[in-house]
Structure 1
């Protein structure tokens, strides 16, 4: 089985989410840090992810979340989008609304390099706002977007269950 290493890395980085307009950089009014984890691939650091939730010290899909990715490697916007597509299909199979959701998410991604950070903030189950280095790139609405998109990093079925558990504070 042939593995496209660049696509795997991109999917893992996909979320590289932005920091919303709140002064604390998380996009949440009362952020509580839950976990932090560094993704390494073949020994090289890819990114460090940090998860915050709104006012609670336990992970809960029903609470607002903020996921920050601090990149140590560069990826194109297309790499990030294709990584997102592949991970969504791997986690949830092909769903009829995936093309529509991916078209919306495509507006979010920009090329990233060493030192860049994305923050993805979801204050409702159906919305995600993303910021790259503090500048908003998008606000996307789609049914169950929080769980589906952020599940790439936070789901027990994510590519790295260990990293996901660390982020969720487990």
Structure 2
């Protein structure tokens, strides 16, 4: 299986710290190494620095979508798909979302493909958790998209 990052270049990287806990290191990739919101392929890789239960990942995803004003009717079908895809995370694990030029989304866990979502609006919506101007952690966003602020 081809490496989903083999033809992509790193745009930026950031560490998420909440209070005094390190949660994860994240890296954003694009073809050019520059961030352009509607230009795909893009990939987001998260290297976890603590254990996180799969149910907590699902809950957090749902919370972030709600905070961004995404309608529950839109993301509810995705939650059941993510429930089948997301594993329990242990410190040192990595989770990667790759969204190709056709807006097909694939998830990889520690380098192995664990699932895909073919809805063409999913990948963009999932990436908004980190990349939207109104996301919860704007400093992480700025570093991911190469602003370094």
TM-score higher than 0.5 here? yes
Aligned counterpart, 1:120: 97
Deviations 1:101-131 (A, max 9, x none): 2222222200001111111100046421111
Aligned counterpart, 1:108: 85
Aligned counterpart, 1:58: 34
The Cα shift of 1:28 comes to 3.7
Taking the aligned partners of 2:108 and 2:86, their CA distance within structure 1 comes to: 9
2:137 counterpart (143, 148, 160)? 160
Deviations 1:42-61 (A, max 9, x none): 1221100011112x132112
RMSD of the TM alignment (CA)?
A: 1.5
Q: Which runs of 4+ in 1 moved over 6 A?
A: none
Q: Name structure 2 gaps, 5 residues minimum.
A: none
Secondary structure of 2:78's match? helix
Aligned counterpart, 1:22: 2
Taking the aligned partners of 1:71 and 1:126, their CA distance within structure 2 comes to: 25
Could you tell me whether the CA contact under 8 Å between 2:14 and 2:144 is conserved in 1? Answer: yes
Taking the aligned partners of 2:68 and 2:97, their CA distance within structure 1 comes to: 19
What TM-score do you get using the length of structure 1 for normalisation?
Answer: 0.80
Aligned counterpart, 2:58: 81
